[in-house]
């Protein structure tokens, strides 16, 4: 943690020297903090805002509880969830369901496996289409492909980086069975409009809440608004066990089907009933989760509080707007803390120059997903597969290929999205959050220097 005091700030409502050199007209500039320290960007040889130590805490989160829990499991010899009803995995399922206000939880070996379990459980397979976002982890797409359904992409709302329901509606046809919204960065997607579409067209909704445990929207936990919700506990996530995941839901029968599917087709009663992969979480993963779950809600609240502070600070800064939130968003898990960069406001400097300057100030801001899924090789691979050619007409596959125009997603991946990976950073102190603000503000105020980077 950084203890060193940082520069004094003063509140101004007129143009700073840096502003005068910029492209934005003075009239639209709101008051904002000015960093009164070095006016030379660190990337140009000035003093960085964050002097040496990094912001936030190391990730994944490890404490004595985590270590002891794993040792306990090792010594117990209960290494598979089916060895005991009171093992770590079944216990975690109960604890996590309660914390999420969910009726039921089924743990899996990853978030991708949780999503795939949900697709299987809803009976979605060959010939069916699931509409989802081009901007996510590839596990989102993989979960649909492993069920041999077709992942149909719809473009984003560029300000929220979330699936745009209006673009979704255009992709609905007679083969569409479900919508899979992704709550990107851990903030809620536009669930109100997505649920309206689901009702209108009689579609299932699988929430990819892999980044969003505990986030709330319109009085409900994210993941429990649609038919099923899926969480990831991969090493980078807010609750992490290396690789792990969970399906949550309130429909008992459907959740029992999820259990059966991830148990390679065998029900809890031991009947071999259906087709299912073996996606069971093992007890060591359960042990890490049980060791970590105690403080997970508190860490969520800290992240949400710190992100709310950053949102307040950045909301009036031209050129680095906080990720748009939809009405009814109550809290976010902020897997990443994201801003939308506008190069016009930064003297025309492209995103890479802005990032170079901010990183030199000691703030690990980065771009995130390099390519929307429409620009990745799986599209042609799937079109070339005999099984897809058998399941879908050539016209349908051609239409799928030709509907890959995602200009908003391209803008987000190529130009606008910048973010902090939030799991550890947003657990930093108030002083550290202020340094993030100061670093970005310093680059804004001195943006005329960016052209020389």
Ligand X SMILES: Cc1ncc(COP(=O)(O)O)c(C=O)c1O
445 in contact with ligand X (CB under 6 A): no
116 in contact with ligand X (CB under 6 A): no
- Binding ligand X (rule: CB under 6 A), the pick from 232, 263, 329, 434 is 232
449 in contact with ligand X (CB under 6 A): no
User: CA 446 to CA 361: how far, in whole Å?
Assistant: 12
- Given the complex with ligand X, which of 29 and 296 has the nearer CB atom? 296
- Given the complex with ligand X, which of 180 and 339 has the nearer CB atom? 180
CB 410 within 8 A of CB 372: yes
Site for ligand X in 164-183 (CB under 6 A): 182
211 in contact with ligand X (CB under 6 A): yes
110 in contact with ligand X (CB under 6 A): yes
CB 327 within 8 A of CB 320: no
Print burial letters for 182-219: b (CB count within 10 Å at least 16), e (below 16): bbbbbbbbbbebbbebbeeeebbbbbbbbbbbbbbbee
CB 100 within 8 A of CB 224: yes
Shortest distance (Å) from residue 231 CB to ligand X: 8
- Binding ligand X (rule: CB under 6 A), the pick from 35, 112, 190, 413 is 112
Site for ligand X in 132-161 (CB under 6 A): 136-137, 139-140
Shortest distance (Å) from residue 411 CB to ligand X: 20
245 in contact with ligand X (CB under 6 A): yes
Stretch binding ligand X (CB under 6 A), from 156-164, 205-213, 324-332, 435-443: 205-213
- Given the complex with ligand X, which of 211 and 260 has the nearer CB atom? 211
234 in contact with ligand X (CB under 6 A): yes
Size of the site for ligand X (CB under 6 A): 14
- Given the complex with ligand X, which of 374 and 447 has the nearer CB atom? 374
CB 105 within 8 A of CB 93: yes
Shortest distance (Å) from residue 112 CB to ligand X: 3
Shortest distance (Å) from residue 245 CB to ligand X: 5
Q: Which chain residues interact with ligand X by CB under 6 A? A: 110-112, 136-137, 139-140, 182, 208, 210-211, 232, 234, 245
């Amino acid at each position: 943690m950084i203890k060193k005091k940082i520069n004094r700030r003063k509140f101004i409502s007129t143009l700073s020297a840096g502003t005068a050199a910029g492209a934005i007209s003075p009239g639209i500039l709101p008051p904002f903090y000015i960093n009164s320290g070095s006016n030379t960007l660190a990337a140009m040889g000035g003093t960085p805002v964050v002097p040496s130590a990094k912001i936030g805490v190391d990730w994944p989160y490890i404490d004595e509880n985590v270590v002891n829990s794993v040792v306990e499991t090792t010594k117990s010899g209960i290494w598979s969830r089916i060895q005991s009803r009171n093992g770590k995995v079944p216990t975690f399922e109960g604890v996590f369901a309660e914390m999420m206000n969910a009726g039921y939880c089924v743990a899996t070996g990853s978030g991708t496996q949780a999503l795939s379990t949900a697709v299987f459980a809803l009976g979605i397979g060959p010939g069916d289409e699931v509409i989802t976002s081009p901007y996510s982890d590839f596990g989102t797409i993989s979960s649909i492909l492993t069920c041999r359904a077709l992942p149909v992409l719809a473009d984003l709302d560029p300000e929220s980086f979330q699936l745009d329901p209006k673009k979704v509606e255009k992709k609905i046809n007679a083969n569409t069975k479900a919508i899979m919204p992704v709550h990107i960065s851990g903030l809620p997607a536009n669930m109100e409009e997505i649920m309206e579409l689901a009702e209108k067209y009689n579609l299932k909704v699988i929430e990819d809440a892999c980044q969003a445990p505990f986030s709330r929207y319109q009085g409900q936990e994210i993941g429990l608004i649609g038919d099923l919700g899926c969480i990831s506990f991969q090493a980078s996530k807010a609750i992490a066990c290396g690789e792990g995941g969970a399906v949550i839901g309130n429909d008992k029968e459907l959740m029992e089907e999820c259990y059966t599917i991830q148990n390679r087709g065998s029900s809890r009663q031991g009947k071999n009933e259906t087709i299912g992969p073996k996606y069971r979480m093992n007890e060591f993963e359960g042990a890490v989760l049980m060791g970590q779950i105690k403080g997970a809600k508190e860490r969520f609240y800290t992240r949400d509080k710190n992100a709310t502070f950053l949102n307040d600070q950045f909301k009036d800064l031209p050129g680095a707007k906080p990720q748009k939130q939809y009405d009814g968003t109550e809290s976010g898990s902020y897997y990443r803390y994201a801003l939308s960069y506008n190069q016009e406001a930064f003297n025309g400097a492209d995103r890479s120059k802005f990032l170079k300057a901010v990183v030199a100030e000691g703030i690990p801001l980065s771009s995130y997903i390099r390519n929307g899924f429409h620009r990745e090789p799986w599209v042609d691979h799937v079109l070339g597969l005999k099984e897809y050619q058998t399941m879908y007409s050539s016209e349908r596959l051609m239409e799928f290929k030709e509907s890959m125009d995602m200009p908003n997603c391209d803008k987000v991946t190529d130009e606008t999205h910048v973010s902090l990976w939030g799991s550890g950073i947003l657990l930093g102190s108030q002083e550290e959050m202020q340094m993030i603000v100061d670093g970005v503000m310093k680059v804004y105020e001195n943006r005329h220097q960016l052209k020389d980077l």
